[in-house]
């Protein structure tokens, strides 16, 4: 113990007069609070933004879906409009300048002649008279989404002229318009097919993971049997049993169900493995003791806990469904005219001689490749973001 000063004065008081704060050491800065107090969805979004390729792919997918949603407005023609004087015409290029002066967006018209040596239609560009394009114009009549009649288009050819930005097909129909209309069918089949497989996968996988035991054993054997079947021959067999008298709408839903029935196994196994690890958690036991039914426990307590993983898995499944529809329609066993899809359009490009003479008939394969790559890159980004703590 230290001695008092010689004059007997008390030692200086060294106790802090500030308010007592027991958690002062644990106080976080605003930047730390933003990270440590963020929800799981916020962490997923921050991690997803770091995957630049996935973000770009997401923008591309949203843009394509927005375009096919308003394809009636964007397409210069209706997908059934025929220009019999311009059968298998090459694409027309858009120009801005004519003979050194600015005219605006225009195309040069075609003059057709028949080559008597090879009986091929040949088109010559008439550069003497530009045909100026019209914007926000009245053109072919349509029913927007089959409900609202209209005839307003983003771009139209000049009065009495033509506009084949991607050429025309064997019936003189505009390829660009048919690609836009076909995209609505092909992309919607992908979403509906994944919805069917998502529902089947969650229900069947949830039952196997929640109950386990013999139920899990039976479900796993069924999954293995389905996965062991070759998909393309099974697609062909299921598609061939659809009656030819069915309307195009029934065929559309039939193809959707077929594609959904083939892709639920992977999702079911993912759900089953997650539920096997979560069913012994305390909150599940508490729900059981309170009398909650298995359907409620699976739907409200277990599945939402790994919904992010399910979304990532479903995103990767969509391109397989789109490819399935394209393959079936390409082989003539899927959708049939008058419905148009990318697969139906590619069905006309099976002849190598036709492709060699008219390569623009292969243009529908470009959006197929683009959307498949975009969905795969987006799925990779979502799969990484689904586990933000990794």
Q: pLDDT band at residue 328, thresholds of 50, 70 and 90?
A: confident
Closest by Cα among 321, 327, 323, 318 to 378: 318
Structural domain that includes position 370: 177-386
Residue 380 lies in a domain: yes
Is the CA virtual torsion 182, 186, 189, 190 positive or negative? Answer: negative
Per-residue pLDDT tens digits for 265-307: 888 888 888 888 888 788 888 888 888 888 888 888 787 777 7
For residue 25, name the pLDDT band (cuts at 50, 70, 90): low
b/e 234-265 (16+ beta carbons within 10 angstroms → b): ebeebbeeeeeeeeeeebbebbbebbbbbbbb
Residue at 367 is within a domain: yes
**Cβ 267 vs Cβ 205: under 8 Å:** yes
Q: CA angle at residue 365 from 192 to 233, to 5 degrees?
A: 60
Using 50, 70 and 90 to split pLDDT, how confident is the model at 13? Answer: low
The rounded mean pLDDT for the chain is 83
Q: Provide the β-strand partners of residue 131.
A: 107
Neighbours of 114 (CB within 10 A): 10
pLDDT of residue 24: 58
325 domain residue, yes or no: yes
User: pLDDT grade, residue 71 (50/70/90)?
Assistant: very high
| Of 5-9, 58-62, 117-121, 248-252, minimum mean pLDDT range | 5-9
Question: How many Cβ atoms sit within 10 Å of the Cβ of residue 315?
Answer: 21
Could you tell me if residue 72 is inside a domain? no
Report CA-CA distances (Å) from 263 to 159, 259, 274, 334.
Answer: 49, 7, 19, 17
For residue 196, give the CATH number of its domain.
Answer: 1.10.3720.10
Q: Give the per-residue pLDDT at 11.
A: 63
CB 87 within 8 A of CB 121: yes
Sign of the C-alpha dihedral computed for residues 124, 125, 127 and 130 taken in this order: positive
Number of domains in the chain: 1
* CB distance 263 to 193 below 8 Å: yes
Residue 195 forms part of a structural domain: yes
CB 256 within 8 A of CB 193: yes
Provide the percentage of residues in the chain whose pLDDT is more than 70: 91
């Amino acid at each position: 113990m230290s001695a008092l000063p010689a004059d007997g004065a008390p030692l200086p008081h060294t106790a802090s007069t500030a308010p007592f704060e027991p958690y002062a050491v644990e106080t976080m800065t605003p930047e730390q609070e933003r990270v440590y107090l963020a929800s799981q969805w916020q962490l997923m979004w921050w991690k997803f933004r770091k995957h630049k390729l996935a973000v770009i792919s997401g923008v591309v997918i949203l843009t394509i879906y927005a375009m096919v949603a308003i394809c009636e407005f964007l397409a210069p023609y209706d997908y059934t409009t025929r220009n019999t004087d311009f059968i298998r015409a090459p694409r027309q290029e858009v120009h801005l300048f004519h003979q050194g002066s600015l005219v605006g967006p225009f195309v040069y018209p075609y003059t057709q002649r028949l080559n008597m040596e090879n009986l091929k239609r040949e088109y010559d560009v008439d550069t003497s008279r530009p045909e100026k394009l019209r914007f926000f114009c009245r053109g072919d009549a349509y029913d927007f989404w089959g409900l609202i009649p209209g005839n307003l288009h983003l771009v139209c050819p000049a009065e009495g002229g033509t506009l084949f930005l991607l050429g025309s097909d064997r019936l003189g129909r505009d390829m660009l318009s048919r690609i836009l209309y076909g995209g609505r069918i092909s992309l919607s089949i992908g979403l509906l097919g994944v919805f069917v497989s998502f529902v089947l996968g969650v229900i069947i996988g949830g039952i196997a993971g929640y109950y386990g035991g013999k139920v899990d054993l039976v479900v796993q054997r069924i999954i293995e049997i389905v996965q062991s079947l070759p998909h393309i021959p099974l697609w062909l067999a299921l598609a061939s049993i659809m009656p030819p008298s069915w309307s195009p709408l029934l065929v559309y839903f039939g193809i959707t169900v077929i594609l959904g029935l083939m892709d639920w196994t992977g999702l079911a196994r993912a759900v089953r493995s997650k539920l096997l690890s979560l069913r012994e958690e305390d909150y599940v036991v508490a729900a059981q003791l309170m009398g909650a039914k298995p359907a409620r426990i699976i739907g409200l307590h277990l599945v939402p806990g790994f919904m992010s993983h399910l979304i990532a898995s479903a995103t990767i499944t969509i391109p397989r469904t789109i490819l399935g529809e394209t393959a079936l329609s390409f082989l003539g066993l899927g959708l049939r005219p008058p419905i148009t899809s990318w697969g139906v359009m590619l069905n006309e490009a099976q002849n190598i001689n036709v492709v060699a003479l008219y390569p623009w008939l292969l243009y529908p394969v470009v959006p197929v490749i683009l959307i498949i790559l975009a969905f795969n890159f987006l799925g990779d980004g979502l799969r990484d973001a689904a586990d933000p703590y990794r």
